[in-house]
Each structure stands twice: as structure tokens, then as C-alpha cells.
Structure 1
Amino acid sequence: MPFPALKEAQDHLAAKQKELYDIFTEAGPDLDMDLIKSMSGTSTDKVAEIRARNDELDELGQKVDDLQTVAKAFARSRQDPERTEPGADTGTTTPTRPGETKSLGQLFTESPAYKGIQGQVGPESHLDIELKALFQTTAGWLPETTRTGTVVPFATRPVQVIDLIPGTSTTQAAVVYMEETVFTNTAAETAEGGTYPEAALQLAEQSSPVRKISVWLPITDDQLEDEPQARGYVNNRLPFMLRQRMDGQILVGSGTAPNLRGFLNTPGTQTQAKGSDPVPDAIYKGMVKVRVTGRALPNAAIIHPLDWQDIRLLRTADGIYIWGSPSEAGPERIWGLGVIQSDAGPENTALVGDFANFSELSTRRGVDVQVSNSHADFFINGKQAVRADVRAALVIYRPAAFCTVTGI
């Protein structure tokens, strides 16, 4: 492994997580500080120590995240550059490269369909009208009122989960890969002249299909004449609609065409029930399942905002806040893992896992926009149809590297 510092940091983080878990176990479901014998002092002293340990976990978790980012960048830099030259069609997934791209609004206003309406204006004439009535407010102009240009967006769910998944691109209709389904390690000490033990390996082909998410918007020709506002508004809202839908599909997509298959509906994803455990204990047990059964290192937790509220407000039996007093901002991490508060998934269910190494969002085609007045009676009614779509595949390479925590 080219980064021993990453392995050392991960081991240190796991050890500190276990220490804090043992303290919560001593406190019991009611978080009774008097039951904790591994620490001395009053309840206030013990809560302060728990907060200090949690702060230490936050720092260690961030350090592991940073080292993983460096390790991935190093690994990508070692790839053969000929495999990802612009325009090369390799038939496999390749990392997405940042570059100069035109915005959706620019593509829209530069399209032939939009430009074509500029000259489609009927004959004009200018008439000199003599004013016979008294020129006053009721017969003339009302006082001018100028809009600020601010558009207050509709209250809707933000996009949060997509940015957690590593992104690549593909030129195929599906992402096909090989999964090792049998690994029998019979390696053993062998005497001189002895028979070598026979091992077994077996692979199976797996596939994640590319799915399309789409949306369209009717706009009048008159509205399109206000080019700056039309460009900015469409540029912001249509891509957001596509990303918001995909954000939810990543978590709860059923997998039945044309849906993506989300984490919560992927066979093989592990489950940990809360039962009588405190919520932090249940989440920690889910993390342990990811480590032991999934052989992975969890790097994030997705929790519904209402569930995170309950965690943030946890108090000891004598009323002391575990995650910090109301006067403090409080950490957005638990057991050192970054917390993504998302209501795209169901309440009372959290998801922990190794998103960095065992999931991928592979884009077949980014947001594509087309404009036409050929829809229905749009031509004779002076309307344009703007449609946008994106095609992508969600790949979950090792379902056991993820665990849902239910009943929280």
C-alpha cells in the first residue's frame, strides 16, 4: 500500500471509536453517567470527557477523509493516460474530467430553435395618436415599479447525496464488471516434499444498466424574448430538477426499469436494528458490520434530519446534552463519520458505508437540452418546449460494504 499513513490513521480512528462505544455501553440506554466506571468525576466531568473524545474522533475522521482523497488522486495519476484521452471510445468507465462546458441556458439560447423565432414577427406599423383626454395617471402611465431581479425558489429538498458518490463516465448502455464470488484461501505451512493445498477462485459478471431521468418545460415565445432572465432561470431549475430526482433514486430507487436501484433496495446491503440500544450504539454496530462482514471502512452516514435532531438532543439521565449545549453549533459527525442530513430516504432509517471505495455514479451523458415548437399545437400558439435529460448508472460494487440502521 503506497500510503501507510492512511492505514495508520484508519486503525487509530477504529480504536478511538471502540473506546467511546465502550463508554456508551457502560452508561446504558438511559445514558446514566453514574454507571460509567472507566472515567472518574461528576456527570458534568464525564460528559465533558465524552465531548472531548468525540471532538477527537471528528479530527481523526477528517484526517482519514483527507488521506483517502490524496490516495485516490495518486491512484488516478498512475493510470495510463492513453486510456482517457479526449474523444477516445474505450467502452469502459473513465474518470470525469473537468473542462469548459456551455451552461444549459447558453445551449438553449444558442439553439437553432430559439434563434429561429427571432425573425418570426408579423408586420409592424407606427400610428400617430392625438391625445384628446386630460393627460393624468388614470389616462396615462402608472408610477413605474422595477423588480429587483431576485427569484425566491420554491421550498424543496436540497441535493446532498450525489456529491457523496464518486463520479465517472461511460460510453456503454451499462456498466459491466467482474465480481469475485469465491475466495478460498488454503494457504498453509507445508513440509518439505508435502502437497500444496489447493485454493479456489471464482468470478461472476455483474451489470448496472444506464437509466434516463428527464423533464420538460413549456415556455411562450414572448417569455423567451427576455433572454437574460430566461437563460438564468432555466439554467438553474431544470438541471436542479434532474439532480434532485437522481439524489432520491440513489437512496430509494426500486431498480425496476426505468428506475435506478438505490442503496436501500440493493440485495446484500446489511441491516442493523436499533432494538433497545441508544441510537449512537446502533449506528456503531452498523459500522462494525461494514468492517467485519463487508471488509470495508465506513466513511459517511446518511441520516434523516428528524433522526439527527434526536441524536443532537440526546441528554444524560441528569439532563446534560451529550452532543453539546444549545449554545454550541455541535458536530456534524458521529463516531468520526461525516453526517449527511437528507430526507430523500425514509425517516427512522440511517445508512452507513464505504461510499468512497464501493459505489460509483457513472454518467453516460450529462444534461442534454433540446428546444422545439413542434410539440402538439405549440407552433400556432406561440410556445416552445424545452426538454432536458441525463443518463447515468449507479454501481454498488460491494453491497455488504453498506448497512442500514433501522428503528432509530
Structure 2
Amino acid sequence: MNLKERLKQLQKSMTAIVNGAKAAERDLTDEEMTLLEEKANEAAEIKSKIERSEKSAALVARIGGLKSEEESTDDDPADVPAKSLGAHFVKHLGKRSLKEPGTIHTPEFKAATDTQAVGGHEGAFGPLVTDVDRSFVLPKRERLVVADLLGSGSVSGTAITYPVYGALEGGTGTVGEGGQKPQMHVGDPTWKTDALGEVAGWFKMTDDMAEDLDYVVSEINSTALYDLASKEEAQLLSGDGTGSNLLGIRNRSGVQTLARGEDDSKADILFKAIGRVNTATGFTADALVIHPLDYEELRLNKDGNGQYYGGGYFSGQYGPGGIVVQPPVWGLRTVVTSAVPLGEPVVGAFSAAAKVFRKGGVRVESTNSHEDDFTNDKITVRVRERVGLQVKYPAAFVKVDLSEYQP
């Protein structure tokens, strides 16, 4: 009998003595009290031994888990998720060689299970760690992209069917005792079906390059994945819905448009767009997507004293505070991207009104059986994802025309 079994036996025995006295509605006898005291002392001693034994075992395990510098390895533990798509591919490659014939498949890399941050900023497909390979420095993925603004979901089919809601009619109000309650109604929704689209690309590398797994990781992360996210952003925002293209937010029926008035500055009309979102849908605008040159003009605006409205190049507004390279406009999360046309920024309640759906995650696959790869010592690597866009409240987005007022 081990210590834990003996402790359990003692506890059961003491409980039986106490319950026996209670059942007989009497006090414990002197003999019973002496016996209980002996058993309690033994139980306390056994419990102390158990605690010491467990502490000792934990300490041994802790020391045994420490590796010396010579024993350390760079291999990722099997249960530790990869931090990037490239690392995910190499991790699941295992002992297989990129040179083996046929196509190498790895599990989907699902960014939703990873921390969506890069140096404190959100990224489209999980964190990408800047590294240096033999030929170039990897670009840092620090800025927000349109997908980061939207809600997210997963889908198992090939299309998404959902209702597109119109304006709220009527509403609640004050009512006297026994009075008729006012009606509120959302017009019958229009049901819409959007098929999933695929964003994909491929690149080649030589067998010599493939022998350097760090190079494979850097190519997937910096070249392929960076470009994949950029193409996805363009589709979500400005896709025209023809052929294999998604129907982007800007081209949805029901999206509001707003042009500058005679006395409106560009900053004025952007603020007015915030109000249009609220008055049309009741949602609060949460983001602005703007072309880099439009943002540049706003950022460089100065007041009559020559002070930059967004803060100077050495400090914040009028000296205090630190500098913010891309301060938000009117407090909105601001995405600066060429995926939106020059002079046509979009203000909207992105997280509430739209959602991006992904089927699985980003896939990366490689083969040396494409065309004449095998005889030319080359390997083809492709990355792809299937994505769909749902916009239930088109009126929660406003396309702003920044061009000069035309009477």
C-alpha cells in the first residue's frame, strides 16, 4: 500500500468513527477520541511525506528539463505552433526532402489560431519575424490591412448566402399607460450569395537554395505571403466581381457616396462621412481606408503658425508628446494602402457591417514534377488561400470623393 492509499484509508476510518457517534446521537468516547487523535497524527505525517515527495519529483523534472548549451537544438517541438507560414511549412516537412518527386503537402496554416501581431501591430496571416538571409533583408509587416478591420469567420462550403439589410423603419418611443406601442421594422432583407474566391501564386527555387531551409522560410514569408496579403486586400476592397474576382466593398450596391461641399476641406468631408454611417445604420464608423498620397496631404497640413496638425517631424503637436508616424484620422483606425483609388477613401463600420470568410487557412505546397523542374534542378512552390466577403450592411460604408467642389 502506497502513501496515498494509506492516507485515503485513514480518512475513511476517521469519518466512519465520527459518523457512528452522530448516528447514535452521542458524544465520542475517550477511546474513540484517542484513536482519532492517533489516526489524525499519522495522516498529517503521511500528507507531509507526500508533499515532500511531489516537490522533490517536480524539482528533478525541472532540472532534467534544462539543456546545456551543447545539448540545445534549434528544432521546434512538435507541440509548439509555428510562428509563420514559412516556418509552418519547414516544420511539417520533417525529414522529407524538397527534392523528392511528387508534390509535398502540409496541413493548412490557420492564422486565426496565432497571435495576429507584428511588433505591436496586427497582420493578416499571423506574426512575421524579420530575418536576414544571404541576399536581402526581409520587409517588415507592420501596417494594418483591410482584412484586419473586418469581422472574421470560417466556411465549409463553396459559397456564402446571407441577408443584406435595409434601413430601420420606425423605432421605439415613449408610450403612455395603455397606449399603442410604436412599431419598428427592418425591411425584408435581400438574400445574396457570394462564391469563395482563390488568391494564389507560385515561385521557383533551385535545389541548392532548397538545401538552405532558412532561405525557404524567408521566401515564403517575405515574397509570397506578403504579395498574397496585398492581393487579398485589393480584392476585399475594390474587387469588381467579374470572373474569379471577389465583389469588393467599394463596388457593393447600397454603399453610400459623399462629395465635398463648397466650403468643405478634405478633413471636413471625412468627418461628415462618419456621421453618414451613424445616421444611415446606427453603427459607429470605426475605420478609414485611404490612398498613401491622400494621407500624405492630410499629414502635411499646417495651421496658420506653420505647425503640423498631426504633429511635427520631431515631436507631437506644438512640442509635447512623442511623434506618431501615421496618426489616425479623426480617431479612426487608419489603413493607408494603394488598394483604394487616389481621391476616393472609404469610411465605414468595418467590424460590424462586413465579414471576411476563409475556408481553411493559407496553404503552401511544393513539387519538383512541374514542367521540367526535375531535369533543371528546380522546385516550384505555391501558396494559396480561399476567401469570401460578406457585407450585410452596405450603407455602413461611405465612399468619399475628395475632388474639388463642382457647383
TM-score by length of 1: 0.60
Matching residue's letter, 1:347:
L
The DSSP-based 3-state class of the residue aligned with 2:188 is: strand
Q: Which residue of 2 aligns with 1:229?
A: 215
Q: Which residue of 2 aligns with 1:258?
A: 244
Deviation at 1:261, TM superposition (A): 1.6
The DSSP-based 3-state class of the residue aligned with 1:403 is: strand
Residue-by-residue CA offset, 1:355-390 (whole Å, 9 max, x unaligned): 111111110121112222222222222222111110
- CA gap of 1:351–1:182, structure 2 versus 1, over 3 A, is closer
- CA gap of 1:307–1:364, structure 2 versus 1, over 3 A, is same
Contact preservation (8 Å) 1:157, 1:343:
no
The DSSP-based 3-state class of the residue aligned with 1:202 is: coil
Q: Which residue of 1 aligns with 2:359?
A: 364
Matching residue's letter, 2:247:
R
1:151 aligns with 2:162: no
Q: Which residue of 1 aligns with 2:288?
A: 301
- CA gap of 1:319–1:379, structure 2 versus 1, over 3 A, is closer
- CA gap of 1:155–1:348, structure 2 versus 1, over 3 A, is farther
- Distance in 2 separating the partners of 1:389 and 1:114: 22
Out of 81, 100, 116, the position equivalent to 2:81 is 100
Contact preservation (8 Å) 2:360, 2:386:
yes
Residue-by-residue CA offset, 1:159-183 (whole Å, 9 max, x unaligned): 6222222222111111222334586
Residue-by-residue CA offset, 1:127-165 (whole Å, 9 max, x unaligned): xxxxxxxxxxxxxxxxxxxx9746224799966222222
Q: Which residue of 2 aligns with 1:388?
A: 383
The DSSP-based 3-state class of the residue aligned with 2:376 is: coil
- Structure number with greater Rg is 2
Q: Which residue of 2 aligns with 1:36?
A: none
Q: Which residue of 1 aligns with 2:153?
A: 168
- CA gap of 1:109–1:380, structure 2 versus 1, over 3 A, is farther
- CA gap of 1:116–1:280, structure 2 versus 1, over 3 A, is closer
* Stretches of structure 1 lacking an aligned partner (at least 5 in a row): 1-98, 120-146
Contact preservation (8 Å) 1:214, 1:389:
yes
Give the stretch that moved more between structures: 197-206 or 282-291: 197-206
Out of 272, 286, 291, the position equivalent to 1:285 is 272
Q: How does 1:69-80 map to 2 (within 5 A)?
A: none
- CA gap of 1:399–1:110, structure 2 versus 1, over 3 A, is same
1:339 aligns with 2:334: yes
- Distance in 2 separating the partners of 1:346 and 1:196: 44
* Count of paired positions: 284
- CA gap of 1:159–1:239, structure 2 versus 1, over 3 A, is farther
- Distance in 2 separating the partners of 1:194 and 1:157: 55
- CA gap of 1:321–1:158, structure 2 versus 1, over 3 A, is closer
Deviation at 1:349, TM superposition (A): 1.6
- Distance in 2 separating the partners of 1:187 and 1:150: 65
The DSSP-based 3-state class of the residue aligned with 2:204 is: strand
Contact preservation (8 Å) 1:165, 1:361:
yes
Matching residue's letter, 2:399:
T
Deviation at 1:304, TM superposition (A): 1.8
Contact preservation (8 Å) 1:159, 1:244:
no
TM-score by length of 2: 0.60
Deviation at 1:327, TM superposition (A): 3.6
